[in-house]
Each structure stands twice: as structure tokens, then as C-alpha cells.
Amino acid sequence: MELAASQQTPAQSIATIWDAGSSFAERLCAGATDHARRFGMKVVDATGIADQAMMPHMRQLKAMGPDLLVGCGNLRSAEQILISASSLSFVPFGLVLTAVSSRDAVRSVGAHLANYVMSPLVWEPSDSVKCPVFGSARDFATAYRAKFNEEPLPESAAAAAGGIALLAAIQAVSSLEQNAVRQALLSLSLQTCYGQLSFDSNGTRTSAETLTQQVQPLGKDKGTMDRWTTADIVTLGGTHALSGWPLPTWVQKEIDVYPCIPGEAVVLDNSGNVSTCKQCPPGQYRTPRSVECEECVPGTYGTASGMSQCDICPSGADCPGNTQVFAKAGFYRLPSASQSGTFVECNPRELCLGKNQCNEAHQGILCQHCEPGYSLPLWGLKRLELSDTKT
């Protein structure tokens, strides 16, 4: 909230949305709402949403226009929020989701959706967090991986820190008597692998720090497919500043990491993952400002693969779009090595009906010849009139 409120374009309003089936997610969002109020933000909405109601509610949120959207829940909820917001072109100043702070999550939703999303972080395995048992939070994470063959969660570090605090309290009073141990815990101030632990009279942890992580695009020196599928997860502060505030449009986010050159588009495998880039087919194009091949519109045409823009319809031609190029009425398309051909005005124009079709019994180049059995008059009649020589 401090970050959102301190930007040059600060967040002045907030909406929170959480997984209606999770009381933990509800409490997280309630804490975010209370924190936002302390910074003077207006809370425009705070609602628990079931899966099937996500899109309708996101449509309502877009109309409310919060500067900051906070979503609390699991990865599935985060995916639905991102997909719904993208589909609706709902772009708040900032977006905070509790389940998009890992590379696996980024791969699941796609970097083009996840980039610039922030997540609260209550713990990270840092060398700067010292611990009397493990040495540091990073050393705890190393020991955890070695024993359980998986990455430690913040809850893992919290459980370990709780055990360290309990052991310290028992040692302080040299007793296992419950009340004595409880009082020792309440008076405890101890550095652990989870950070500094101290508690108020109600047993609530005091001075708990919450960090902020953000998904940020990989540098342009990285591979194009890597930038499309993954991203950096950075802890803000120190060497890493908040990026992408206010948020770019969803289309711009996608363009920023799109892996294909203009004239090409991504091809998905059977799992829906990007496998390669393929040239746009004839009659379609892709500019650097779009993320899919588009049809050439009327007035333009495209006859080659891999076009980044369509060609302008030649003078004397009719281009209804796609690959089609025809002579329009009054013109004739001459045979040519050029795909667009050469479009010449007919004399008189009434001879040519368009699409190289000739009036009545005229035929041939520029409709200057006659079908068998007809001849052109030598004088006295209009050029387009024919004499029937049939007997």
C-alpha cells in the first residue's frame, strides 16, 4: 500500500476480491482493505467471489474504476482475475495478487499476463535474515530442500521459527509449565529464520515486516521464447524499483514480450504452449503493434506469406480484402509477371465490366476483340456495338 500511495500517480481507490471458499483469503483481503484505509484510499468494493461469478463481477469492477485491484486466493483465482481483466480491457493503475510470485505461476498464466503484477511477501530466504539455529534464512531453505526435496514455503519458515521460539522460551524459564512458558514467549524478542519474533499481550506477532515482490519482464538480451514464457520475480526495494506503474494495456504487455517478428505469429502445441513462430498466410499480416495475424481489409491485399503490412490496392483495381485483386469496371488487368498486374483504362470504359469481363460479345485484351461470329463496325456506330456476321 505504501508503494501504491507514494507513486507519482498514486492509488486513491482500491477494490479487493477473494476466493469465496477460503476464509484465509478473506482475512488477507480484509487486512489489505484496512491497510488501504489507513493510507486514505477509498474502498470501492470488497467481495468474495465464486469461480463462475468472476467475469460478471470483474465487469462491475471495471465500471467502478478502482486505481488498485487486490486479489486474494490460490493460483486458479489469480488466473481467472488476469484472464477476465484482460478480456474486458480492465486496466487499473496496479494489480496485487497473492498467488503469482513464483516462476511456476508465471509459466502457468503466461508472462504477458503476469508481468508487473505485485504480490505480498512475508518471508524470503535471504542471507540478511540471521538465525541462531540454521545460520540464516537462506541456510534454512538449503537444509529444507535437502531434507524434503522441495522449495520451502513461508509457512515452512514460520513453523521452524515457532519451534525455535518455543525452545528458547523453555530454556529461559527452565520449565515445561504452561503458564511460565507462555509468559516467556510473550516477553521474547528473538531473531529467527522467519525474521524477528516478538508478541503483544494477546499473542499477536508485533513488528512483522511484509515485503513486496513483482513480476518483471526478462531483459531484451534474453531469448524471445524465454521472455514470452517466464519472467523475473524481484523483491522491491534496494536494487529493484517498482516497474510498470501505471499498468500498460494488456495488448501492450503482450506486445512487449511477443516472441515472433512482424509477419509471424505464435503457434501453440496441444497443451496450449507456444512452440514456434509461423509466417502469416497470404491475405493476412501482423504489425509490431498486434499479436495475431489479421485479414487484409478492403482497399488492401496481400499475396505473399509473412507480410507485416498489406499492399495498397493499385489504381484501377478493386481489392475487397484478403488476397483478392480485380480490375474494376472500366479497367482491364493486363497479363504481367507482377502479382498485382497492370490495370489499364479501357477505351471506351463501357467495354470493360470489371474482373476482366467484357461487354456483350467483346473479348480479349482490353475487350478490343470480338467473339467468333461478330465483327466491329468500321464507322458510324459506337465502338461497343457489334455487327452480327452469323448467317
Together in a domain, 129 and 30: no
How many structural domains compose the chain?
A: 4
Closest CA to 156 of 136, 177, 140: 140
More confident residue, 273 or 310: 310
Residue 391 has pLDDT above 80, yes or no: no
Together in a domain, 200 and 311: no
More confident residue, 12 or 51: 12
Which structural domain, as residue segments, surrounds residue 132? Answer: 123-206
Together in a domain, 308 and 336: no
Mean pLDDT of the chain: 89
**Mean pLDDT of the 253-267 span:** 93
| Residue where a domain terminates, one of 183, 206, 229 | 206
Q: Please write the tens of the pLDDT for every residue from 16-25.
A: 999 998 888 8
Burial class (CB within 10 angstroms; exposed 0-12, middle 13-18, buried 19+) of 104: exposed
Q: Please write the tens of the pLDDT for every residue from 214-253.
A: 999 999 999 888 898 899 999 898 788 999 999 999 999 9
| Residue where a domain terminates, one of 324, 344, 368 | 324
Q: Please write the tens of the pLDDT for every residue from 149-202.
A: 998 888 899 999 999 999 999 999 999 999 999 999 999 999 999 999 998 888
Instruction: Provide the pLDDT for residue 377.
Output: 66
Together in a domain, 5 and 84: yes
Highest mean pLDDT pick, 20-34, 291-305, 326-340: 291-305
CA 191 vs. chain centroid, Å, equals 40
User: What CATH number corresponds to the domain at position 80?
Assistant: 3.40.50.2300
Together in a domain, 388 and 303: no
Instruction: Provide the pLDDT for residue 380.
Output: 38
Residue 128 has pLDDT above 80, yes or no: yes
Together in a domain, 101 and 218: yes
Measured CA to CA, the distance from residue 192 to residue 116 in angstroms comes to 31
Measured CA to CA, the distance from residue 129 to residue 152 in angstroms comes to 15
**4: amino acid identity, one letter:** A
